[in-house]
Each structure stands twice: as C-alpha cells, then as structure tokens.
Amino acid sequence: MSMETTAWTQMYSVMNAQQDRRPFARATLRRIARFARPHRRRIGQFGVLSVATALLAVATPVLAGHVVDAIVSGGDERRVVRLALLIAVIALAEAALGLVGRWLSANLGEGLILDLRTAVFDHVQRMPVAFFTRTRTGALVSRLNNDVIGAQRAFSNTLSGVVSNLVTLLLTLAVMLTLSWQITLLALALLPVFVVPARRMGSRMAKLQREAADLNAAMGTRMTERFSAPGATLIKLFGRPGDESAEFAARARRVRDIGVRTAMAQTTFITALTLVSALALALVYGLGGWFALRGSLAPGAVVSLALLLTRLYAPLTSLAGARVEVMSALVSFERVFEVLDLKPLIEEKPDARAVPEGPAAVEFTDVRFAYPSADKVSLASLEEVASLDTRGGAEVLHGVSFRAEPGQTVALVGSSGAGKSTIASLLPRLYDADEGSVRIGGVDVRDLDAESMRATIGMVTQDGHLFHESVRANLLLARPDAGEDELWDVLRRARLDDLVRSLPDGLDTVVGERGYRLSGGERQRMTIARLLLARQRVVVLDEATAHLDNTSEAAVQEALTEALSGRTAIVIAHRLSTVRAADLILVVEAGRIVERGTHEELLAADGRYAELYRTQFAKPAPHGQDERSEMGIPAAEGRGRTDGSPVGATEIAVAGGTAA
C-alpha cells in the first residue's frame, strides 16, 4: 500500500468516525461478544488469515532485496530465477488469501448486519403504538441502516485491521532493525509528520461532512414532506412556491460550498503527504545508498528498506486511528442496543391461551387508563429532541364498564377527545388498561396469545391505511393463505371488483403510498374487503364510514351487513344517525360513560345524547316531511334519513339489522 493510499484511508476513517470520547463500556463489550459468539469460528479463521497475509506482505520486500544482492554480486542465475518464482508464488498466495479473507470478511460483516437488523426489527414490532406516535420514522430507520452498518465495521474492518496491522508492524520493525537500525529510527522520527496532519485534517473534514450530512438530511426531510400527496396539496393550497424554492436553494448552495471546501482540503492534504512520502523515500535511498557505498549495508537491503517503509507507515497510521474507529463502532453498537433496551409495555405471557371458540362477548370492567409518559416508550434521540417530554401519566379513562353480548352492536358516541378511540384501542391490546380488565369470551386480553387475538378481532379505522403495495398484497395482510377466488369474492362483496378489474394490472396494481391512487371511499372499501377476508368474530369500527358518501355507503351495504352479522361489534361514530339502531349506545364524556341505552331510550331521557342529537339535526324540516323523519327515526320503510338523502347502507349495516 502506497503512502498516498494510506493517507486517504486514514483520513476517510477519521472523517467517517463518530468523534466520541467516552470510555469503553464493559457492558457494551459483553453484549457485542454475545452477538459475535455465533460467528466465533469465522472470526478465528479471519484472524489466522490476517496473520498469514501479514507474513506474506513482509516477505516480498525481503526477497526483492535478495534478488538485488544476487544481481549485484553476479551470483548464480538460477538463484535469481528461484527468488523471482518465490516472489510470484507469494504474490499468488497473497491474492488467494485476499479473496478468501474478503469472503470471510463479507460473510462475517453481513451476517452480523443480518443478526442486528433482525433483532432490532423484531423488537420494534413488539413496541406499543405509543412508541410509533412519538418516534420519527427516519430516525428509527437510521438505526436499522447507518448504525447497524457502523457496528458491522467493527468486525469486517477494524477487527481484521488491528490484527493484521499489529503483526505487520512487528514483523516490519524487526526486519528493518535487522537491516539498519539508523534508517528505521529515521523512519519512525518522520511518522508524526505523516500521522498528525491526517488526524487534524480528518477531524476538520469530519465536521464539514457532518454539516453537509445535516443539511442533506434537512433537505431530504423537507422534500419527503413536500413531495408526499398531502404535503404537495397543502403547498398548492396555502404555500408560497417562490419562498419554498428560495429556502431549498439556500441550503443546496451551502452543501455546494462545503463540497468545494472539502475537495480543496482533501487535495491540499494529499498533495502535502505525497511530498512527505517522496522525501522519506529520498532519505532512505540517500542514506541507505551512502551506507551501501561505504560497505556497511548491502544494496539489496536498501531496496528492502524502501519497500518496507510503506509497510511500516501503513499499519502505524491505521493503528494510530484505530481507537477512533473502535469508539465509532462502539457508539453504533450502543445506539442499536439503546433501541433493544426499550422494554415493550405489552408482553405476551409465557402461558398465554387462545380465545375460546364460539361467539365472543366483550366486557370492560372498571377500566382505568393513562397514556404512558415519553420516558417509558421512547428515546430523545429517536424523537430528535434534546430531552423527552415529561408530560403524560394523567388518567384519561375513569372506571369504564360495559358488556357487549355475542352478536350485539355497541356504539360509542360523544365529543371529540372524550376517550372513545382510547376505549376501542384497549380491546386489541394496542394499549393495556392500568386498572380493571378487558375481556373477550370471558378471558382477560392480557392472558390471551397475540396470534389468537389477531384472528379474533378485526378493526377498521377512519384513515383506511394501505401500504404502497399491490391490491393483492394489501388484502393478504388479513389472511396470507387466501386464494385468488376468495380475493375476488371479498372485492365483489365490497363492491370493488369492477374497479380492480379496470386497473392496469388488476390485483397486482400498486395502490400508491397510503393508497392515495384510490379515492377515500375506495380506500375505505378496501379495508372493509380486508375485514371480510379475515373473518374475525369481533369487529371494531372506528369512524369507519367517515369518508364514505351516500353512493359509497350504498355500495357497501351488503358487505357491512354480512361483516357484522352474528359478530360482536364496537362502533365509534360522530354521526349519530349511523348508530341509532345499535343494541346499546354508550355516551362517553371526559373518559366516563355518562349515559347508556338504546336510541329511543336516550332520546326519551333528554340528556347528553339528546343534546348531541338535536345539535346535529337542528335544521327545520322541509315542507311535507314529518318530525320523526327529521329526527333521524324512519317513519316507514324507504323513508329518507335526516338530511333528506336515502337511508345510508352503513347506517343499516353498522346497526347490525335493517331499517326500521
């Protein structure tokens, strides 16, 4: 390796290392050892191979010196040929060992990446919803990419580098001292001239690189927000394109300026070190030649010393920066372990049981709940804040109790923020109750296994979220083993089959990020089709019809009727007309159930429900329309609903019956 290459390598390592001055953490090292244990055989092979490569690297300059001595002395030609052949064999062996070493290094590094990424991914999947509501997605993805790769370098680069460089350094020094201790000391005296500028310039350029990375990250975040469908719409409606462009261009210009400064600093640095290396070689040849002419040093030794000089500087320079590289790898490991150390708030018990077979009742008994504080579910570094928000822990549900019998529909109504969605989220264990119990089929949900829960409870939320995947992939989330005929069947029942057949690739058409290539009603019907495919016994509809117009409601009438038929349903709605035929209506305010009963009973009680109902349907009835119809209570089959439109399909289906 030339001195110029060594300089570039050292500078790159320092630039990309995280400048952290913390002491080595023994606990971190022990955890790293546990991750490395499955790879210990390859680590050992890698170490042996590194030593063998170092031995061959030192042997070549020594043999080259012997060739020169044989030529100068006019010795046997066969000896020169044998030495040349030996050098060729060593070169072939070095190449072969290099390939094998690279294979081992790649397998070791990529194997470690696989283990770490899988561990982090599996752990993150077990985290509660509160974790994802606080964490920045980009910061979390960075842990799975940048930090895992940084940790991998400790094995594939740093580990092998330290072993081979130590062996190479010791052998090189021993041979050089044997040949000429004076030239060896001179070489060591010049080392600071070579290493110190690399460290200082590397640190300076690391700052430039971090600044450029921060600016690029900021530009990336801005582009991600502005280029998403909702962001682009917002900018077109309220933004100022000129100001947006000017701000983006200002950041881009700063990145350009940093790039120019970095390029000039690199060129100046490498040019200076190239000059230093040339001067060092000149000193070796000059002083060595003087010794050779005086007869105190063989001519071949001069050549060997010149070749060994590069073998001396390369490992010394690398070892000088090894601490920075090791600390950088440790920081990466610690950032990965930081995520793994976050304990999931919701754990499945070792003896968890399946949901009992048959129709399932849902029961809440004196349930109290407070959203967890940030320090229990998140990290400041994942939220990209200086310190975590200390708020949280205030109780939001206060002694909630109710029971939904098998096959019944229970509706939750009330003001926004009253706690309706919070109640619904406790049923599938998106959160766990702090006090009281939530039961399905008579068993506390904390005693049930997750797979059985997923097979029992289906949920449709108001945003109708879809992945940037095909129609088929989005449906198969509900039941991966479903066949083609079953997919078309649920699409037909959700009144989506004609739409999907008209798409360019049918079931294999990608729906776009969050399903934005579909309309709001189409996305919602897709989630209903997914629910139909899953065939769960308990259904939660959280404002599931929020984005459906009258036409879309009519399109899913049969689908929702079948989806809820014979199933226990928890329905959250702001439009009271959609829940008036529910078996039980619960009025939730400030985390408490303040009223309960049927639609007629609650209207007759003239309490909070009646107040909410009058607020929604306060407009005067059109001429000729009776008061019962205006209040949302159909007077006869086929009568219109409160706003004059036909009775919505979802209003009938959510209630689990037919229009009265």
- Whether residue 43 is predicted with pLDDT greater than 70 in this model: the reply is yes
- Whether residue 281 is predicted with pLDDT greater than 70 in this model: the reply is yes
pLDDT band per the 50, 70, 90 thresholds, residue 385: low
Least confident of 97-106, 258-267, 645-654: 645-654
User: Mean pLDDT over residues 357-372, rounded?
Assistant: 89
DSSP notation for 42-105? HHHHHHHHHHHHHHHHHHHHHHHHHHHHHHHTT--HHHHHHHHHHHHHHHHHHHHHHHHHHHHH
Least confident of 369-383, 454-468, 498-512: 369-383
What is the reported pLDDT for 173? Answer: 84
- Whether residue 387 is predicted with pLDDT greater than 70 in this model: the reply is no
What is the reported pLDDT for 362? Answer: 92
- Whether residue 22 is predicted with pLDDT greater than 60 in this model: the reply is no
Token pair for residue 384? 């990209």
Token pair for residue 261? 């400064």
User: Mean pLDDT over residues 517-530, rounded?
Assistant: 81
Cβ atoms 83, 70 nearer than 8 A: yes
- Whether residue 627 is predicted with pLDDT greater than 60 in this model: the reply is no
User: Mean pLDDT over residues 419-434, rounded?
Assistant: 89
| 137 vs 346, higher pLDDT | 346
d(CA 291, CA 180) in angstroms, rounded, equals 9
pLDDT band per the 50, 70, 90 thresholds, residue 647: very low
| 266 vs 425, higher pLDDT | 425
| 150 vs 640, higher pLDDT | 150
What is the reported pLDDT for 310? Answer: 75
User: Mean pLDDT over residues 610-616, rounded?
Assistant: 85
DSSP notation for 236-282? HHH--HHHHHHHHHHHHHHHHHHHHHHHHHHHHHHHHHHHHHHHHHH
d(CA 264, CA 258) in angstroms, rounded, equals 10
pLDDT tens-digit readout, 139-183: 777 777 777 777 766 666 666 677 777 888 888 888 888 888 888
User: Mean pLDDT over residues 606-627, rounded?
Assistant: 67
What is the reported pLDDT for 468? Answer: 83
pLDDT tens-digit readout, 99-110: 888 888 778 877
Least confident of 282-286, 436-440, 563-567, 629-633: 629-633
Q: Which residues contact 93 (CB under 8 A, 6 or more apart)?
A: 56
pLDDT band per the 50, 70, 90 thresholds, residue 438: very high
Within 10 Å of residue 250's Cβ, how many Cβ atoms? 10
Within 10 Å of residue 113's Cβ, how many Cβ atoms? 18
Residue linked to tokens 């080595």:
24
3-state secondary structure string across 372-431: CCHHHHCCHHHHCCCCCCCCCCCEEEEEEEEEECCCCEEEEEECCCCCHHHHHHHCCCCC
Residue at 370: amino acid letter: A
- Whether residue 381 is predicted with pLDDT greater than 90 in this model: the reply is no
d(CA 242, CA 130) in angstroms, rounded, equals 38
What is the reported pLDDT for 390? Answer: 64
Highest mean pLDDT among 24-28, 76-80, 149-153: 76-80
What is the reported pLDDT for 10? Answer: 52
- Whether residue 645 is predicted with pLDDT greater than 60 in this model: the reply is no
What is the reported pLDDT for 592? Answer: 92
- Whether residue 325 is predicted with pLDDT greater than 70 in this model: the reply is no
Residue among 255, 278, 256 at smallest CA distance from 3:
278
Percent of the chain at pLDDT exceeding 90: 9
Phi, psi of 597 (to 5 degrees): 155, -175
- Whether residue 422 is predicted with pLDDT greater than 80 in this model: the reply is yes
- Maximum distance among all Cα pairs of the chain, rounded to whole angstroms: 126
d(CA 317, CA 320) in angstroms, rounded, equals 5
Distances (CA, A) of 243 to 29, 248, 345, 380: 50, 9, 44, 31
What is the reported pLDDT for 584? Answer: 92
d(CA 60, CA 134) in angstroms, rounded, equals 59
Q: Enumerate domains of the chain plus CATH numbers.
A: 3-340 (1.20.1560.10), 406-655 (3.40.50.300)
What is the reported pLDDT for 549? Answer: 64
Distances (CA, A) of 274 to 277, 512, 633: 5, 53, 90
What is the reported pLDDT for 588? Answer: 92
| 205 vs 619, higher pLDDT | 205
- Whether residue 192 is predicted with pLDDT greater than 90 in this model: the reply is no
Highest mean pLDDT among 53-57, 246-250, 483-487, 557-561: 483-487
Phi, psi of 457 (to 5 degrees): -110, 125
What is the reported pLDDT for 660? Answer: 27
| 420 vs 376, higher pLDDT | 420
- Whether residue 190 is predicted with pLDDT greater than 80 in this model: the reply is no
Residue at 7: amino acid letter: A
Q: State the distance between the two ends of the chain, measured CA to CA, in whole angstroms.
A: 88
Beta strands 409-414; 568-572: pairing state: parallel
Residue among 534, 423, 537, 521 at smallest CA distance from 464:
521
What is the reported pLDDT for 552? Answer: 61
pTM of the model: 0.65
What is the reported pLDDT for 654? Answer: 32
What is the reported pLDDT for 278? Answer: 75
Percent of the chain at pLDDT exceeding 70: 74
